[in-house]
């Protein structure tokens, strides 16, 4: 995720302003299916929290209500956000390392 100024380009990871997307990617072992699920945590209650749908919209694209400045006024209106995938590319880059990463972690 880029932390330098400006909005990230569609198709590139989202710009990181607060680090919440990075810091709240969590994993959970599911003993029933003997698998691990990795994804964003719900952030309700966190100061300056993200709408819980924002990580999904950033990853896949979608529409969200945003406060947008129009002239001198701020208005709430729907905005369409192009995909800015960050979870799937990270998984793809780390695919070969996953066995070593998880080895001995579920003892």
How do the domains of the chain map onto residue ranges?
20-102
d(Cα 29, Cα 2) in Å, to the nearest integer?
A: 29
pLDDT tens-place string over residues 42-92 = 666 554 445 657 788 888 999 888 888 889 999 999 989 899 998 888 878
pLDDT exceeding 90 applies to what percent of the chain? 11
DSSP per residue, 46-65: STTPPPTTHHHHHHH-EEEE
Q: Which residues pair with 15 in a beta bridge?
A: 2
Q: pTM of the predicted model, to two decimals?
A: 0.64
Contact 74, 68 (CB under 8 A): yes
């Amino acid at each position: 995720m880029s932390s330098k100024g400006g909005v990230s380009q569609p198709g590139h990871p989202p710009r990181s302003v607060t680090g919440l997307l990075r810091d709240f990617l969590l994993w959970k072992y599911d003993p029933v299916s003997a698998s691990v699920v990795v994804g964003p945590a719900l952030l309700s209650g966190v100061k300056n929290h993200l709408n819980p749908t924002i990580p999904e919209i950033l990853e896949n694209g979608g529409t969200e209500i945003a406060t947008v400045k129009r002239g001198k006024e701020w208005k709430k209106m729907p905005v369409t956000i192009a995909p800015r995938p960050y979870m799937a590319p990270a998984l793809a880059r780390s695919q070969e390392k996953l066995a070593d990463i998880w080895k001995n972690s579920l003892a």
